[in-house]
Structure 1
Amino acid sequence: MASALDFYFDFSSPYGYFASTRINEMAQKHNRRVDWHPFSGEAFKPSTSGTSLVQNPAKRTYIERDYIRSAKFHNIEFKIPSVFPLDTRYASRAVMWAESKYGEDKGIALAQAIFKAYYVEDKNIGDPKTIIDLGVSVGLKAEEVSEGMNNSFTKEQVRAEIDLATAKGVFGSPFVIFDGEPFWGFDRFDQLEAALKAKA
Structure 2
Amino acid sequence: MLSGMADPVEFYFDFSSPYGYLASHQIEAIAARHGREVRWRPYLLGVAFKETGQKPLVEQPLRGPYHQHDFARSARRLGLPFRLPSPFPFAGVAPSRAFYWLEERDGALAKRFALKTYDRIFGEGRSVNDAAAVADVAVSLGVDSAALVAGINDAAIKDKLRAETEAAIKRGVFGSPFIYVDGEPFWGHDRLGQVEEWLARGGW
TM-score between both structures, scaled by the size of structure 1? 0.95
C-alpha displacement at 1:10, in angstroms?
Answer: 0.4
Is 1:166 the equivalent of 2:132? no
2:12 aligned residue: 8
Deviating beyond 3 angstroms after TM superposition, the runs of 4 or more aligned structure 1 residues are: 51-55
Report the 3-state secondary structure (helix = DSSP H, G, I; strand = E; otherwise coil) of the residue aligned with 2:80. coil
| Cα deviations by residue, 1:133-180 (Å, 9 ceiling, x for unpaired) | 111111110111000011100000011111211121100100000101
| Cα deviations by residue, 1:56-104 (Å, 9 ceiling, x for unpaired) | 342211110011111112222212223211121001000111001x221
Written as runs of structure 1 = structure 2, the 5 A alignment for 1:30-179 is 30-53=34-57, 55-100=59-104, 102-179=105-182
Letter in 2 for 1:114: T
Letter in 2 for 1:123: R
TM-score between both structures, scaled by the size of structure 2? 0.93
C-alpha displacement at 1:46, in angstroms?
Answer: 2.4
Structure 1: how far apart are the matches of 2:98 and 2:55?
28
C-alpha displacement at 1:55, in angstroms?
Answer: 4.3
C-alpha displacement at 1:26, in angstroms?
Answer: 0.7
2:28 aligned residue: 24
Q: Is the 8 A contact 2:58 2:68 kept in 1?
A: no
Instruction: Structure 1: give runs of 5+ residues left out of the alignment.
Output: none
Q: CA 1:30–1:154 in structure 2 vs 1: closer, same or farther (change >3 Å)?
A: same
Instruction: Structure 2: give runs of 5+ residues left out of the alignment.
Output: none
Give the alignment partner of residue 195 of structure 2, picking from 189, 192, 195.
192
Q: Is the 8 A contact 1:123 1:130 kept in 2?
A: no
Residue correspondences, number: 199
C-alpha displacement at 1:5, in angstroms?
Answer: 0.6
Q: Is the 8 A contact 2:49 2:55 kept in 1?
A: no
Percent identity of paired positions between Structure 1 and Structure 2 = 37
Q: Is the 8 A contact 1:110 1:135 kept in 2?
A: yes
